[in-house]
Structure 1
Amino acid sequence: MDFSIALILSQDGITSGAIYALLAFCILLVFTVTRILLIPIGEFAVYGALTMAALQAGQPTKIVWLLCGLVVINLFLDLYAHFRHRQQLLWKRHAVMLMYAAVVSAAMYWLPLASLSTLSQIILTLAIITPLGPQIYRTFFQSLVAAPSLVLLIVSIAVHVSLVGTALLIFGPNGAQTTPFSDRTFEVGSLLINSQTLWIIFTFFALIILFSYFFNKTLYGKALRATAINRMGARLMGISPIFAGKITFTFAAFIGGLSGILIAPVTTLYYDSGFLISLKGFVGAIIGGLVSFPVAALGSLVVGLVEAFSMFWASDYKEIIVFTLIIPFLLWKSFTTRNTEEEDE
């Protein structure tokens, strides 16, 4: 290996590491606020990538029917809770969601998808993927808001399996790769930097700055921070855990879908690619102790670099090498963390 090859591998590692860091951020955000280990985060990325590929091919995708189905199911769930347990039914919210799903579905079948600009295709893709987050939370997790962490983990695994099967039905077994946002390259010494890499890095920093402002300066962001620090105290102060769960799943679906759109031009994604992607983000989150995002981002960067160099030296064992990174950190946590019972809430 010479220096130029090392630079190319480092560029690939940083690109992948930025994507893993975004997914690690989603895992940390959802876990600290809701205690849900979001295993299906990779499916949001795959849905975003494959939906974008379908739009570029000019083919309407059936994923809009998944969104419509979840909206209708959640309407019936709320109707049941209203008549069975006398819970308040927010008619306006359901009417808005039904109208939104109808408009998005109509846009999918009536617009000239292949002729749209790249920005319009990205917006339409995110308009479909982002609402899946809160709808999935309402369908599978809202009634389990006070359940033990083990129950939430089991449900999360079941949701992951369901979404993988749904992706096979919607997108089929063939992989897809989208066209890059730009074909330009920039020469820095002996290294040619792909413009798609710059887009990924720029988006990563832009999202981090945006969410840093949100959590530090806005009322909703401070409410989520309070829920992450002390769920019981936040509940006593009037912060709804259901609202917190829905908004964190919305953020996770948005970031996951955007991550898939960003990485699709540089790698081919299949309906079942989400599990490996989410696992690598999970490794970064574990390195951060499921608490610290800066450490998790650094860990995700290490994961991306190790993956890139492992692909060069031992491509057959790159997944094994990447996932063994988690072992030293688990051992360190086991030796430095006291055994305490889970706090009852």
Structure 2
Amino acid sequence: MDATILGFLLLDALQNGVVYGLLALALVLVFAVTRVILVPIGELLMFAPLSLVWLHGGKLPGTLWLALALGLLWALLSRGRGSLLPLGLGALLFLLALLGLQLPLLAYPAAVLLVVYLGLATYRVFFQPMREATVLAYLIMAVGLHVAYQGLGLVFFGPEQYRPAPLLSGEVTVGLSWQGVLVLLFALSAVVALYLFFRFSLFGKALLAAAENRLGARLLGIRPEEAGMVAFAIASFLAAVSGLLLAPLINAAYFMGFMLGLKGFVAAILGGLLSYPVAFLGALLVGLFESFTSFYASAYKEALVFLLLVPALFFQSLKARAVEE
């Protein structure tokens, strides 16, 4: 291995690692607040660029009708004044999607809003009614939604892979495009924004309170259900923008989100599904490990990456046993 190959591998590790890091942050946030392991986050990530391709092609994506259908169920479950939010957001989403058919630039915010709305509706329709369920029950529901959303992705978009046009064309240097720089800048800005959000904003402190002690947060007037909505909105937003920025580099297809989400889950496990900084550092480690194993043992790349789960889970089990004793 010479210096050129080493540089390529490090750039690839950084580019992939920050995306895994954003997914890991989203998974940790959702789990800390709601105890839901958001398995279908990979599908949400892929739905954004695939919906964008459909809008740029002059067609309304099937994900729009899925989101509006779940939004209608959300409104029915909310009843009364609570139904105004899903109905208003649904109307705004449909209007923005129609405008996105005519104005390509508006297709980007339309795709992001679609995924955020779908994430919110998913929480309200499927998880919030299970508010007293166990983590295992949440996990079973999340796996079922992953299978359903992946199957619907095949129905909506077909088996082909698509590559949206990059927002910025050209290369900064060999191995790093301007689109890759956008990915890095978004990851950096997202990490800083999340830090400021949790450190200084009232909503951020309420989320931390709900994550630390749900009963205590409820006694202080913080509704865990609303905290869960905010957590799902942030996670869906991170997934949507990450998908839009990443798709011009790696293509987008209905089946690709699962592997990306799973690697984000590996990073989140390295952080114990609790620590945001450790989860992000774990994601960089996953990206580095994946990059070098793809060079030395490409046939076993995925298996070796997931092998990182074994020592992480073993360490978590030892730590849990020590706490019990």
Normalising by structure 1, we get a TM-score of 0.89
Q: Please give the alpha-carbon distance, in whole angstroms, between the structure 1 residues aligned to 2:262 and 2:276.
A: 16
Q: Please give the alpha-carbon distance, in whole angstroms, between the structure 1 residues aligned to 2:251 and 2:298.
A: 17
SS of structure 2 residue aligned to 1:214:
helix
- Give the Å deviation of 1:306: 1.5
1:311 and 1:318 in contact (8 A); partners too: yes
Compare 143-152 and 23-32 and name the one that shifted more. Answer: 143-152
- Give the Å deviation of 1:100: 3.3
**Does 1:311 pair with 2:294?**
yes
Q: Please give the alpha-carbon distance, in whole angstroms, between the structure 1 residues aligned to 2:116 and 2:159.
A: 23
**Which residue in 2 is equivalent to 1:105?**
94
**Structure 2, unaligned runs of 5 or more:** none
Q: Please give the alpha-carbon distance, in whole angstroms, between the structure 2 residues aligned to 1:163 and 1:192.
A: 34
Two-structure CA RMSD over aligned residues (Å): 1.8
SS of structure 2 residue aligned to 1:283:
helix
Aligned AA (1:61): P
**Does 1:164 pair with 2:150?**
yes
**Which residue in 2 is equivalent to 1:138?**
124
Aligned AA (1:154): I
**Does 1:116 pair with 2:99?**
no
- Give the Å deviation of 1:338: 1.8
2:97 and 2:107 in contact (8 A); partners too: no
1:42 and 1:256 in contact (8 A); partners too: yes
- Give the Å deviation of 1:334: 2.1
Change (3 A) 1:243 1:3: same
Q: Please give the alpha-carbon distance, in whole angstroms, between the structure 2 residues aligned to 1:225 and 1:96.
A: 24
Q: Please give the alpha-carbon distance, in whole angstroms, between the structure 2 residues aligned to 1:32 and 1:100.
A: 26
1:64 and 1:101 in contact (8 A); partners too: no
Q: Please give the alpha-carbon distance, in whole angstroms, between the structure 2 residues aligned to 1:107 and 1:299.
A: 37
**Does 1:227 pair with 2:210?**
yes
**Which residue in 1 is equivalent to 2:285?**
302
2:72 and 2:86 in contact (8 A); partners too: no
**Which residue in 2 is equivalent to 1:321?**
304
Q: Deviations over 1:296-321 (max 9, x none)?
A: 11110111122122222222111001
1:56 and 1:178 in contact (8 A); partners too: no
SS of structure 2 residue aligned to 1:265:
helix
- Give the Å deviation of 1:99: 3.9
Aligned AA (1:95): L
**Does 1:252 pair with 2:240?**
no
Q: What is the percent sequence identity of the aligned residues? A: 36
Q: Please give the alpha-carbon distance, in whole angstroms, between the structure 2 residues aligned to 1:228 and 1:95.
A: 27
**Which residue in 2 is equivalent to 1:23?**
23
Compare 195-204 and 97-106 and name the one that shifted more. Answer: 97-106
1:174 and 1:270 in contact (8 A); partners too: yes
Aligned AA (1:123): P
Q: Please give the alpha-carbon distance, in whole angstroms, between the structure 1 residues aligned to 2:279 and 2:94.
A: 37
**Does 1:174 pair with 2:154?**
no
Q: Deviations over 1:262-315 (max 9, x none)?
A: 110111222122221111001100111111111111110111122122222222
Q: Deviations over 1:131-172 (max 9, x none)?
A: 111111111011111111111111111111111122122112
1:61 and 1:108 in contact (8 A); partners too: no
**Does 1:94 pair with 2:80?**
no
**Does 1:269 pair with 2:252?**
yes
How many positions carry a matched residue from both structures? 324
1:24 and 1:296 in contact (8 A); partners too: yes
- Give the Å deviation of 1:61: 1.2
**Which residue in 2 is equivalent to 1:330?**
313
Q: Please give the alpha-carbon distance, in whole angstroms, between the structure 2 residues aligned to 1:333 and 1:100.
A: 41
Runs of 4+ in 1 over 6 A off after TM superposition: none
Matches within 5 A, 1:51-90: 51-79=51-79, 89-90=80-81
1:73 and 1:139 in contact (8 A); partners too: yes
1:145 and 1:241 in contact (8 A); partners too: no
- Give the Å deviation of 1:339: 6.9
**Which residue in 2 is equivalent to 1:46?**
46
SS of structure 2 residue aligned to 1:186:
strand
**Which residue in 2 is equivalent to 1:86?**
none
**Which residue in 2 is equivalent to 1:278?**
261
SS of structure 2 residue aligned to 1:264:
helix
Q: Please give the alpha-carbon distance, in whole angstroms, between the structure 2 residues aligned to 1:211 and 1:254.
A: 12
Q: Which one has a larger percent helix, Structure 1 or Structure 2?
A: 2
- Give the Å deviation of 1:184: 2.4
Q: Please give the alpha-carbon distance, in whole angstroms, between the structure 2 residues aligned to 1:262 and 1:329.
A: 30
1:50 and 1:171 in contact (8 A); partners too: yes
- Give the Å deviation of 1:46: 0.8
- Greater Rg by CA: 1
